[in-house]
Copies of this chain bind each other. A is one copy, B any other.
Amino acid sequence: MAEAREWAIGGITSAGQQPNPERHENGEVTFHLKAPNAKGVQVVPLGGDNGMGDGPFEMTRGDEGEWTVRLRPARPGFHYYLFSVDGCECLSPYAEVFYGWGRVCHGLEVPGGNDPGRALDVSHGDVCLHWYPSPITGRLRRATVYTPPSYATDLDRRYPVLHLQHGSGESDRGWTWQGKTNFVLDNLLAEGACEEMIVVMDNGYATPAGVEADPHPRGGDNVFEDVLLGEQIPDIGRRFRTLDGCGNRALAGLSMGAGQAMRIGFKHLDTFGWIGAFSGGGRGFDPATSFDGVFADPKAIDSRLRLLWMGCGRLDGGYESAKTMHETLDASGIAHGWLETEGAHEWRDWQFHLQAFAQRLFR
């Protein structure tokens, strides 16, 4: 399959590929920042198991006040980072920006490693920004919606829906800009490896009407469950050509979103027949008591749930608890999917999880 060079791949804001960092043929990258009067400038990876390697990385001052550092990233995939200029946490105007860690930050995209989200010369679906009224929050909410290639022209057809949630400190944009969900699905569809589906990527934060919203939402108490069930799903059903019923509706997410998928999904098995948890949601699992005891009768849950699927990277801080849930489910005779990937709590692993999960959905 031919590689398609996208005009603005990876770019959430820009017209073209931003020049920072500079990419070398051997896979190394050079970061740049002009700071003529600074005493010290660093590249600061966000997260302890960031695939850029162990930072912060000290930059070196050049003659014109241009600071640089040349690195060989440790792993392919998408890695969050920032700059620090004499202790001032900041961003370069010449590097792409994303939203994660509760702030605007940069992302380094390291090619290679069988990238599930690379842009190939196949049919492409669209990604819609869709606004819907939310009396529960007293706000106009916005969701990001992927529609598959046939959606625009096959007007008599209706589609199943995957609701796909981001992690803490991220937003509804994460699954598109960091995760490239549209290309992951386009690539699977081009190989006939999954069913055509609509993917709804909403904000996992929802503050009740009249309450001031946290400008750096990280999850916690909110009314997202009520918004999802009472507002978003009905709205999507009115505005998109969806198929009804729990057999046609999946709920999945990463990290915080994995927790939401399990907590909300197991409570509403009449709504969601397929549940996916990527790198999260399994901590302290006890089949007798967790999730209001829905797993206490393995046969009952087996008959109601078409698929429970879990994935986690081996370098992920939550790997042991996810694996323990998987083993406990096995020991209890509860059918489920399980995938261990090689990476950490990062987007490349979540892309692999989505790629594997999507192939089992609605079949």
**A interface list, Cβ under 8 A from B:** 4-9, 12-19, 33-39, 65, 82-83, 85-99, 103-105, 119, 121, 124, 126-134, 137-142, 145, 152-153, 155, 170-173, 176, 182, 203, 205, 213-217, 238-240
Chain B residues with CB below 8 A from A182, complex form: 129, 131
- The one of B37, B104, B126, B172 that contacts A128, using a Cβ cutoff of 8 Å: B126
Let me know if A5 and B239 touch, CB within 8 A. Answer: no
Cα-based distance from A162 to B354 in the complex (angstroms): 36
B87 touching A215, Cβ below 8 Å:
no
Cα distance, A117 to B140, chains bound together (Å): 14
A90-B83, A92-B91 given as contacts; is B104 within 8 A of A172 (CB)?
A: no
Asked if A97 meets B35 with Cβ closer than 8 Å, knowing A91-B92, A152-B239, the reply is: no
**Known interface pairs A39-B37, A131-B124, A142-B8. Does A105 touch B93 (Cβ–Cβ under 8 Å)?**
yes
How long is the Cα–Cα vector from A140 to B182 in the complex, in angstroms?
A: 14
Which residues of chain B are within 8 angstroms of A152 by Cβ–Cβ distance?
239-240
Contact between chains at A172 and B121 (CB < 8 Å): no
Partner of A126, one of B103, B130, B133, B172: B130
Q: Is the CB of B90 within 8 A of A5?
A: no
| Contact indicator B104/A13 (Cβ below 8 Å) | yes
In angstroms, Cα B205 to Cα A363, docked, is 43
Which one, B36, B126, B176, B216, contacts A19 given CB within 8 A?
B216
Residues of B within 8 A of A140 (CB): 4-7, 9, 119, 121, 124
Say yes or no: B14 contacts A12, CB within 8 Å.
Answer: no
Which of B8, B13, B155, B170 makes the CB contact (< 8 A) with A15? B170
Q: How far apart are A217's CB and chain B's nearest CB, in angstroms?
A: 5
Q: How far is the CB of A67 from chain B (nearest CB, A)?
A: 9
CA A170 to CA B217, docked complex, whole Å: 29
Q: Are B239 and A153 in contact (CB under 8 A)?
A: yes
Q: Indicate the member of A16, A133, A155 with the most B CB atoms within 10 Å.
A: A16
A121 nearest CB neighbor, chain B only: B133
Instruction: For the complex, give the distance between the alpha carbons of A343 and B104 in Å.
Output: 30
Most buried by B among A85, A104, A171: A104
Which residues of chain B have C-beta atoms less than 8 A from A133's C-beta? 4, 121
Do A104 and B8 have beta carbons less than 8 Å apart?
no
**Chain B residues positioned under 8 Å from A12 (CB to CB):** 12-13
